[in-house]
Chains A and B, each alone.
Chain A
Amino acid sequence: MVALAKKVDINNSIASLKQKVAMPYLLLLPGMLWLIVFFLSPILTLVSTSTKEPGLGFGEFIQTYRWANYTDALVNLQEQFIRSFVYALIATAIALAIAYPLAYAIAFKSGKWKNVLLVLVVAPFFCSFLLRTIAWRQILAQDGIVFKSLVTLHLISPDTRLTSSAFAVITGLAYNFLPFMTLPLYASLERIDPRTLEASGDLYANGIVTFRKVTVPLSMPGVVAGTLLTFIPAAGDFVNAQILGNPSTTMIGNVINAQYLQTANYPLAATLSFLLMLMILALVLVYIRKSGTEELV
């Protein structure tokens, strides 16, 4: 009761600071308008394009409300859809495994270097991600150091290929979205009071038990945000598959990109885009519901 009164208390006083009812809408108006015009309405345009059929002339499409476009797309391209989600899932798991200790070390073990290390996590953004992906291809190439030394050590046979493979595409995805995984993880780990970890130790939990029973549950919001921010762009990516993959590692992003910019088959591209968006949204909602982290925005 008291807690409730206090909460109302604060809200009330904030409301009384600026009583204009119109104020929030004025603040929201420009940004919301921008998102409605340049995000929401394009998505609606996308849906409307997705049910069109080719007309007589080249690049001409007629609205026929052909919803079968969706089933056709699913049947014809299910392999690429499945591959996209599997790759994205594995890449997310790898990124989590790399980023969690990284974020943990920055949050608890870095002392005065904390801010510098955080900057180091974001800085690679500025060296274009395309350049970095190309760099990976060259590093792992047949004539690169990594490949040659692995062959010399007899760890792989000279016939193996590190690039142009599913392995390269997945590690490329994991690499590219690592900062998106690390930052939210760091943010939630940093909020943990180190004393709760000490308390756990005091209550007879060893390091591993403390980590499992205290650290991990308390960092769940960061895990959810980080995995989403990695999985979503990874599932829709086409650059890694294009630079690091081969024809049998084609992801749905490559198909959409090609349908738009090479074949100019806009209805198919739109159908695939919207399907991809729906599938990701459905997965995201189930995931958020399951993990019990509602407050993402």
Chain B
Amino acid sequence: MSDASTSAKGDLKLNNISKSYGDFKAVDDLSLIIPEGSFFALLGPSGCGKTTTLRMIAGLEEPTSGSIFVGQTDITEMKPYKRPVNTVFQNYALFPHLTIFENIAFGLRRRGINDVEGAVNKVLDLVELPHLAQRKPTQLSGGQQQRIALARAIVNRPALLLLDEPLGALDLKLRRQMQIELKWIQKEVGLTFVHVTHDQEEAMTMADTIAVMNEGQIEQMGSPADLYDNPKTAFVANFLGQSNLIKGTISGNDGDSHIVDLFGQKISLQKNRSHAVDNSIYAGIRPEKFRISRLGTSTSGNILTGGHIEDVSYIGVSTQYQVEMPWGQELMVFEQNDDGVAPFSKGEEVNISWEPIFTFGLHGDEDANAGSEVNPDEDE
């Protein structure tokens, strides 16, 4: 076979891809390079364009403009069955009229591979379900169907494996288990995985690199730790975990740091962690980075005073506090229950503090609630 389904190898490149449906832009001028062999996640809420992007890579959708390359091969207008790409579909799309064996053998047979039986058995061993070969898909549990869908795709050794919300239909426990298993299988077979999900925890657990998408564009791309510790936009700050964003102005400089005025109280922010464009800024701090202290206790780092405990929720490993600040904003604080300090109670007057290196700065014109209102459980 001379088509690209077997020959093309290399990085996946999306060059200025757009996809419009009438006036609606599902994907807007998106460019992306996914290195060969990586586990890449496209993360975003419903309707952010991530599934459309995936379907364009699979060839199930044609871009309105832009081009897609695998290595040196342009696959933009290639038919899905000519691409070196396989997909694990949402809800699996196993063929109900074929046995598990024939489901997995489907792609091999179409390509005229010789040792179909050997290859199928090998991949069935890999997903640890060799005893199900002669069953029909409807006789399998959700988790088993998921693994067969994966086996059916990876048995073809594609240059690229696309996973469209592959764990969305599984219950929480099974999902955790499959996350680990998927990661292991990816290492084992060494294929490039592109994983679409709305579940930030799933993306962080599995992917080497995450691209956070919103309204057809990539908001930020990087390693899970990068995205979490140093988000560039309010959307990323809120969509990946929770953030406290406090409005302020840059009032001065101190070496490598900005001095930021938050409602009259001064804190410090490293310049390389600021994404503000002018003096208007949001200072961002993750809730678990905060420390609460009783009035009169000594604290170091950035300090905000005049807090008032509004609400306390004890959840075992940690306690979550809502602290109302003098300017009326409620800050979220997660305290580990490991430091022997007696829990604070509702109504107490407190100060909160944190290490300056944990502060990140966002453009002050942003919508501080962006990304926090979306319902992550809604299916696309």
Question: What is A's interface to B at a CB cutoff of 8 Å?
Answer: 1-2, 4-6, 8-9, 12-13, 16
Contacts A2-B380, A9-B21, A9-B61 supplied; 13 other A-B pairs, CB < 8 Å: A1-B24, A4-B24, A5-B21, A5-B24, A5-B26, A5-B47, A6-B380, A9-B52, A9-B55, A12-B61, A13-B60, A16-B60, A16-B62
For the complex, what is the distance from the CA of A4 to the CA of B22, rounded to whole Å? 10
B47-A1 in contact (CB<8A): yes
CB distance from B20 to the nearest CB of A (A): 10
Provide the residues of chain A in CB contact with B46, threshold 8 Å: 2
Chain B at the A interface: mostly helix, strand, loop or mixed? loop
Chain B residues near A9: list those with CB within 8 A.
21, 52, 55, 61
Complex: chain A residue closest to B26, CB-CB: A5
| Minimum C-beta distance from A92 to chain B (A) | 38
| Interface residues in B, total, Cβ within 8 A | 12
A13 to B26, CA, bound (A): 15
A-B interface, 4 closest residue pairs, ranked by CB to CB distance from nearest? A2-B47, A8-B21, A13-B60, A5-B21
Measured CB to CB, the nearest residue on chain A to B58 is: A13
B21 near A12: Cβ-Cβ < 8 Å: yes
Which residues from chain A contact B26 at a C-beta distance below 8 Å?
5
Is chain A's binding surface mostly helix, strand, loop or mixed? helix
A259–B47 CA distance with the chains assembled, in angstroms: 65
| Chain B 6-22: CB-based contact to A (< 8 A → 1; otherwise 0) | 00000000000000011
Total CB contacts across the A-B interface at under 8 A: 27
Contacts of A1 in B (CB 8 A): 24, 47
Taking CB atoms, residues of chain B closer than 8 Å to A4 are 21, 24
- Expressed in whole angstroms, the Cα–Cα distance for A8 and B62 within the complex equals 13
Contacts of B60 in A (CB 8 A): 13, 16
CB distance from B212 to the nearest CB of A (A): 18
Q: Is the CB of A13 within 8 A of B61?
A: yes
Residue-wise interface mask of B (44-62) relative to A, using a CB-CB cutoff of 8 A (1 in contact, 0 not): 0011000010010000111
In whole angstroms, how far apart are the Cα atoms of A13 and B61 in the complex? 6
Residues of A within 8 A of B52 (CB): 5, 9
What residues on A are CB-neighbors of B47 within 8 Å? Answer: 1-2, 5
CA distance A13 to B55 in the complex (A): 9
Q: Which residue of B lies closest to A11 (CB)?
A: B21
What is the distance, in angstroms, from B46's C-beta to the closest C-beta of chain A?
A: 6
Nearest-neighbor residue (CB-CB) of B25 within chain A: A5
- 6 A-B contact pairs sorted by A residue (CB < 8 Å): A2-B47, A9-B52, A13-B60, A13-B61, A16-B61, A16-B62
Cβ contacts under 8 Å, B62 to chain A: 16
**Residues of A close to B55: CB separation below 8 A:** 9, 13
Q: Across the interface, name the chain A residue whose C-beta is closest to B22.
A: A8
> Which residues of B (55-112) have their CB < 8 Å from a CB of A?
55, 60-62
Residues in A whose Cβ lies below 8 Å from that of B21: 4-5, 8-9, 12
Q: Chain A residues near B22: list those with CB within 8 A.
A: 8
Q: CB within 8 Å of A: which of B217-273?
A: none
Per the bound structure, the CA–CA distance linking A4 and B60 in Å amounts to: 18
**For residue A13, which residues in chain B have a CB less than 8 angstroms away from its CB?**
55, 60-61
- Give the complex CA separation of A203 and B26 in angstroms: 40
Nearest B residue to A16 via CB reads B62
Distance of A51 from chain B, by nearest CB (Å): 50
Cα(A8)–Cα(B24), bound, Å: 11
B110 to chain A, nearest CB (A): 16
Give the distance to chain A from B11, nearest Cβ to Cβ, in Å.
26
State A268–B242 Cα separation when bound (angstroms): 82
Quick one: CB contact mask for B24-41 with A, threshold 8 Å, 1 for yes? 101000000000000000
Assembled-state Cα–Cα distance A4/B52 (Å): 13
Complex-state Cα separation, A12 to B59, whole angstroms? 12
Q: Find the B residue at minimum CB distance from A12.
A: B61
The docked-state distance in angstroms from the alpha carbon of A4 to that of B47 is 10
Minimal Cβ-Cβ distance residue in B for A13: B60
Report the bound CA distance from A12 to B62 in whole Å: 9
Measured in the bound complex, the distance between the Cα atoms of B56 and A12 in whole Å is 12
A9 to B60, CA, bound (A): 9
Q: How far is the CA of A99 from the CA of B21 in the complex (A)?
A: 46
Which residue of chain B has the shortest Cβ distance to A15 in the bound complex? Answer: B62
A206 CB to closest chain B CB (Å) equals: 35
Q: Which residues of A contact B61 (CB under 8 A)?
A: 9, 12-13, 16
Identify the interface centre among B21, B52, B55, B60: most chain A CB within 10 Å of its CB.
B21
Specify which chain B residues have a CB less than 8 angstroms from the CB of A8 in the assembled complex. Answer: 21-22
In the bound complex, residues from chain B placing their C-beta under 8 Å from that of A16 are 60-62
Task: Tell me the minimal C-beta distance from A198 to chain B in angstroms.
Answer: 22
Q: How far is the CA of A9 from the CA of B54 in the complex (A)?
A: 13
Chain B nearest CB: distance from A115 CB in Å? 17
In angstroms, how far is the closest chain B Cβ from the Cβ of A232?
37
Return the chain A residue nearest B21 by Cβ: A8
Give every chain B residue within 8 A of A5 (Cβ-Cβ).
Answer: 21, 24, 26, 47, 52
CB proximity of B138 to chain A, nearest CB, Å:
17
Residues of B within 8 A of A12 (CB): 21, 61
Question: In the assembly, what is the distance between CA of A291 and CA of B47, in Å?
Answer: 35
Most chain A beta-carbon neighbours within 10 Å: one of B46, B55, B60, B380: B60
Q: How far, in Å, is A249 (CB) from chain B's closest CB?
A: 52
The distance from the CB of A176 to the nearest CB of chain B, in whole angstroms, is: 38
Which of A2, A5, A6, A8 has most chain B Cβ within 10 Å? A5
A12 to B24, CA, bound (A): 14
Residues 189 to 219 of chain B near chain A (Cβ within 8 Å):
none
Specify which chain A residues have a CB less than 8 angstroms from the CB of B24 in the assembled complex.
1, 4-5
* Chain B nearest CB, measured from A20 CB (Å): 14
CB distance from B113 to the nearest CB of A (A): 24
Residues of B within 8 A of A2 (CB): 46-47, 380
Q: How far is the CA of A2 from the CA of B21 in the complex (A)?
A: 11
Q: How far, in whole Å, are A4 and B26 apart by their CA atoms in the complex?
A: 11
